[in-house]
Amino acid sequence: MSHLYDTVVPTVIDDGLLMETVYEQGPKGEAGKFCKAEGVAPAEVHELCLEYKNILVIDGLWEFVNLTKLQLCNNIIEKIEGLELLVNLVWLDLSFNNIHFIEGLDTLVNLEDLTLYNNKITCLENMDNLLKLHVLSMGNNDLRDLENLRYLRRFHNLRSLNLFYNPLCYDPQYKVFVGAFLPEVVFLDYRLLEEEHREKGAEMYQLPVLKLIEKEAKERKHREKDLAKSQTEKAHIDAYVENLDGPLLFKNLYEEDREGNLLSKVKGAADLISEFKHRFVRVCHQIFNLGIEEKTARDAEVALFWECFNEAMEEDRKRGMNATSTFKEEQKAIFENMRLESDPVKLEDMVKAYHVRVTELWDDLVGAEMHLVDELDEIVERFELSLQDMASNFIEHIQELMSKLREYEGFHNEKLTEVATAQLESMARGEFDETMSTELVDILSDKDSTLSAIATSHDLHLLKIDLREDKIVNGITTWKTSLIKDIRKSLWERNRTRMTEICHFIDQARDDVDNLEMTPPNW
């Protein structure tokens, strides 16, 4: 399939083209002026149309992280790329391009509508993560193998499928195959998939479908098990206590500890290490349990914050709706009176009064918005103080428990020094243990070497404990700071969006009277 745009000069996607397109497709009038005066951040854009731009390479979209709808149709794109950060996309149109392979969609997990109509694709693949896919348009490509359609069984939300004008469509069993293997599909090639095709497919492909269902059940069971495991691991990571519900941290003490591993072979050291491990792991469990408890408390606090936040937003929404609804009712009556008024002077006075009313509405809406901004700021400040207290208490308790680990390490170090010194004295008396390695004999060759090895092992253990403590403290601190920063950023963006909406509504109200058709007098 040759493409209409194969011979044109490609366009480079740059900031100039993107922002020009944003302003072209953005609000007009006062709202548009407000946007241009304040500037529009790419993260504030939710829909973007880049069709008929002669685009060859998808690039420069990484800042548009909140896009939900993106049109890149009717270009000369050859490869799906540059979309990795657009994780909020719900609707993506890449039709009428020169794409050969489905790729680059792994992160678009919220995608519901995907259009790849009129490209050069030969295989359905690389869409495993698009589990929300509801509509898939793959018409006018080069799909030839009916068996490839089995790939679409993973999309349990897929209801509309377009494969028209692909070679496989001309297979006599095409609709029957779809009816058998894709039971969730309701519309095929823009038409309702007839029941007779489903029934015939169920009969014709009964055995392979049953085998496939059995295979999928096993795979699903494994996925659910893996998912449960990964969710548990994530919960532990989010609590900053991953791998502290067992002996892993203790094992890490000795991973790079050459001296400590050698000294563990000294007579009497094994019992010391066993006791050390028992105490150490017991405290690790305490740290783990504390982390999980604190994470639960933080989650409850965050949920309470959003509850208060949403209550304030809902009250504001109701106030805004009441104000605009009242205005629309008044506007309806005012316009009706204007249409009936034949005196130009009175009509002019009515128009002036109407504009005064619009200005009053502007003041009411903006005033309510400013009040909401202050209210939300106060809610965030209280939330931030609460988080600070929770984080400080958590850090204080963690530091207390980490101090216990250091105490146990110090106690173990003292006892290890005693047994190593005893072994050194035995060797000085000529009492050698033939099972000792050459490296251990070298360490125990004199007192300085022995004490140096013990100190090196001790310092390494303390370092490992310090690093784990720093990881927990830095984790909770960074989480708190990032959360508040993100909330304040979202408040700013919400305010910008709301002010744009108000400007747009006021613009429309003013335009309504200018566009009002008056009944000429005496007609």
| pLDDT recorded at residue 133 | 97
Cβ neighbours of residue 229 closer than 8 Å, sequence gap 6 or more: none
pLDDT above 70: residue 392: yes
pLDDT tens track for 73-132: 999 999 999 999 999 999 999 999 999 999 999 999 999 999 999 999 999 999 999 999
Mean pLDDT (whole number) for 357-375: 93
Mean pLDDT (whole number) for 461-474: 97
Tokens of 496: 């910008």
| pLDDT recorded at residue 518 | 58
pLDDT above 50: residue 374: yes
Q: How far apart are the first and last CA of the chain?
A: 62
Q: How many CB atoms lie within 10 A of CB 492?
A: 13
| pLDDT recorded at residue 3 | 44
Cβ neighbours of residue 336 closer than 8 Å, sequence gap 6 or more: none
pLDDT tens track for 34-88: 455 556 678 888 899 999 999 999 988 888 999 999 999 999 999 999 999 999 9
Which residue, among 316, 310, 473, 301, has the nearest Cα to 383 in the 3D structure? 301
Q: What whole-number percentage of the chain has pLDDT above 70?
A: 93
Please state the pTM of the whole predicted model.
0.67
pLDDT above 50: residue 523: no
pLDDT tens track for 150-200: 999 999 999 999 999 999 999 999 999 999 999 999 999 999 999 999 999
- CA 240 to CA 292: how far, in whole Å? 9
Q: Secondary structure of 403-470 in the HEC alphabet?
A: HHHHHHHHHHHHHHHHHHHHHHHHHHCCCCCCCCCHHHHHHCCCHHHHHHHHHHHHHHHHHHHHHHHH
Q: What whole-number percentage of the chain has pLDDT above 90?
A: 73
Q: Considering only 59-68, 360-369, 430-439, 481-490, which range has the smallest mean pLDDT?
A: 430-439
Q: 410-434 burial string, b = 16+ CB within 10 Å, else e?
A: eebbebbbebbbebbeebeeeeeee
| pLDDT recorded at residue 437 | 86
pLDDT above 50: residue 31: no
Regarding predicted confidence, which is higher, 21 or 100? 100
Domains along the chain?
11-207 (3.80.10.10), 247-514 (no CATH)
| pLDDT recorded at residue 521 | 45
Distance of CA 363 to the CA centre of its chain: 37
| pLDDT recorded at residue 429 | 80
pLDDT above 60: residue 6: no
Q: 81-99 burial string, b = 16+ CB within 10 Å, else e?
A: ebbeebebbbbbbbbbbbb
Residue 508, exposed/middle/buried by CB under 10 A (0-12, 13-18, 19+)? middle
| pLDDT recorded at residue 28 | 55
pLDDT above 70: residue 380: yes
Residue 241 phi, psi dihedral angles, 5° rounding? -130, 25
Mean pLDDT (whole number) for 313-320: 90
* Helix, strand counts (H, E) of the chain: 11, 8
| pLDDT recorded at residue 20 | 76
